């Protein structure tokens, strides 16, 4: 646990008692703060009693008279489409609002660091797609290289729930736009931007607000090194803003699909090969085609970003290459579940938006595509014509409506996962892939994309 500094003897309020909220309460108490809590759930009083905190309705006038700061959980809206009433009340009464990410960067360094021979570092990863895989891959490479490391944030443990730093340790954080948008402190040593595609637009009042939330990690974080995917203009913009000129190696540009050139530091993948160039010369190369845990161009981009972040820490190319081959991938992200009669079954339930689903489809030939769910803003046109799709099997409460938008494809409305898996498996021929890549949120039928993926795995396991 990271005890929160700066609030000893002060009263701090915590909004939301989920995973991050509970860890925040414990960390604040360890730092000597008196903690108030508020949660909209019916059993909030029971949760407060369990953690030794005082329950206070933070939506009422005067609730923040004696409060030094309000710490809110990332899933709670703080600005758009409208702020939670407790956050609106805090702002009206002049109480600073922060989140656990801000507290982490405020509290991570301690006096004990004066005795370390190698200063701990923080790598923070953000972007629309691939940030979980990239974060986990960086963590895996560090472990394989013998570096002490912890993985936290939007993946794994809450940032305040990790252990205090060790000599030479590297903490890898996956950060969502919800987390970067509000954090009052953002000071990573290495910041990584994977890519940008439309997502969470309601929480950021559109694409520009969404990009602005991601950009804060760089513009306000001031990292020593910035690893930036430049396949979209937004990434090119951040790289330009962070760079002092063509040869500035504080910026490592990353691409999947295009060759990067110039005097700077570049890492790119083309036709399955990763290349690293510096000052116009190639200094590293890896064949990614046979790495089972990283299939497809989108995973090659993840590999490039992870490679670049680890190279920024001085880890050698051959060490990284060896670690890539032992990476097993993450559940629900291009996860090979089974192979039956020459048919592969792949779980990419995390492909909750159009861009991530399109990349998943492009990673395989002859796809029996299971899709559907709670459609996000922007429509499905960007997925089409989907040349690798043999047939689509649509699930979800509005499966019929979703299916009508997949123009030009052979489509069957299935409704539920069991029906979709059974029909896709019955139709599939040897050499084809049954792929769950929903291109939609899960909340119409499941509590999370993980639950949806687990259902897919269960249905595949039940096949004869």
Q: Per the annotation, where are the binding residues for ATP?
A: 127-133
Residue (of 360, 379, 384, 378) closest to 370 by Cα position: 360
Residue for token digits 């950009």? 215
Binding site residue list: 127-133
Give the residue ranges of DSSP H helices in 56-117. 85-92, 100-107
- DSSP result, 178-219: HHHHH-S----SEEEE----S--TTTTTSHHHHHHHHHHHHH
Per-residue burial over 303-342, b = 16 or more CB atoms within 10 Å of its CB, e = otherwise: bbbbbbbbbbbebebeebbebbeebebbebbbbebeeeee
For residue 166, what are the contacts with CB-CB under 8 A and spacing of at least 6? Answer: 120, 148
Q: Is 207 exposed, middle or buried (CB count within 10 Å of its CB: 0-12, 13-18, 19+)?
A: middle
First to last CA, the chain: 47
Task: Give the span between the Cα atoms of 197 and 353, in whole angstroms.
Answer: 9
What's the CA gap between 188 and 196, in Å, rounded?
A: 20
**Spatial CB neighbours of 266, under 8 Å, sequence gap ≥ 6:** 252, 253, 254, 255, 260, 275, 276, 277, 278
Q: Distance between CA 116 and CA 316 in Å, rounded?
A: 23
**Strand, coil or helix: what is 460?**
helix
- Dihedrals φ, ψ of 307, to 5°? -60, -50
Is 3 strand, coil or helix? coil
């Amino acid at each position: 646990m990271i005890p929160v500094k700066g609030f000893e003897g002060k009263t701090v309020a915590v909004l939301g008692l989920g995973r991050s909220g509970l860890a925040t309460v414990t960390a604040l108490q360890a730092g000597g703060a008196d903690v108030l809590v508020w949660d909209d759930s019916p059993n909030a009083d029971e949760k407060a009693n369990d953690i030794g905190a005082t329950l206070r309705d933070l939506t009422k006038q005067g609730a923040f008279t004696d409060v030094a700061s309000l710490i809110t959980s990332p899933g709670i809206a703080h600005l758009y489409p409208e702020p939670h009433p407790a956050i609106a009340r805090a702002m009206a009464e002049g109480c600073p609002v922060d989140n656990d990410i801000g507290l982490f960067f405020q509290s991570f360094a301690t006096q004990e660091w004066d005795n370390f021979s190698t200063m701990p570092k923080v790598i923070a990863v953000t972007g629309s797609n691939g940030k979980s895989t990239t974060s986990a891959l960086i963590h895996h490479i560090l472990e394989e290289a013998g570096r002490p490391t912890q993985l936290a944030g939007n993946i794994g443990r809450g940032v305040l729930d990790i252990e205090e730093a060790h000599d030479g340790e590297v903490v890898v954080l996956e950060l969502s736009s919800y987390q970067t948008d509000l954090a009052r402190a953002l000071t990573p040593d290495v910041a990584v931007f994977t890519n940008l595609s439309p997502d969470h637009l309601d929480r950021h009042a559109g694409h520009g607000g969404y990009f602005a939330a991601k950009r804060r990690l760089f513009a306000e974080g001031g990292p020593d090194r910035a690893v930036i995917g430049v396949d979209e203009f937004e990434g090119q913009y951040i790289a330009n803003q962070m760079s002092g000129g063509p040869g500035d190696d504080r910026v490592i540009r990353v691409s999947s699909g295009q060759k990067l050139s110039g005097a700077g530091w570049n890492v790119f993948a083309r036709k399955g090969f990763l290349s690293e160039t510096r000052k116009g010369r190639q200094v590293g190369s890896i064949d990614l085609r046979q790495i089972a845990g990283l299939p497809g161009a989108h995973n090659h981009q993840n590999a490039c970003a992870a490679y670049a972040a680890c190279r920024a820490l001085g880890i050698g190319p051959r060490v990284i290459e060896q670690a890539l081959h032992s990476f097993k991938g993450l559940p629900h992200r291009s996860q090979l579940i089974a192979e039956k009669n020459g048919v592969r079954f792949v779980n990419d339930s995390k492909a909750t938006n159009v861009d991530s689903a399109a990349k998943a489809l492009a990673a395989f030939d002859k796809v029996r595509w299971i899709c559907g769910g709670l459609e996000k803003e922007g429509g499905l046109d960007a997925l089409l014509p989907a040349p690798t799709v043999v047939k689509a099997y649509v699930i979800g409460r509005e499966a019929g409506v979703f299916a009508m938008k997949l123009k030009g494809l052979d489509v069957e409305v299935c409704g539920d996962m069991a029906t979709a898996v059974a029909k896709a498996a019955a139709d599939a021929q040897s050499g084809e892939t049954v792929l769950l890549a929903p291109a939609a949120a899960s909340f119409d039928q499941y509590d999370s994309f993980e639950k949806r993926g687990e259902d897919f795995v269960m249905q595949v396991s039940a096949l004869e």
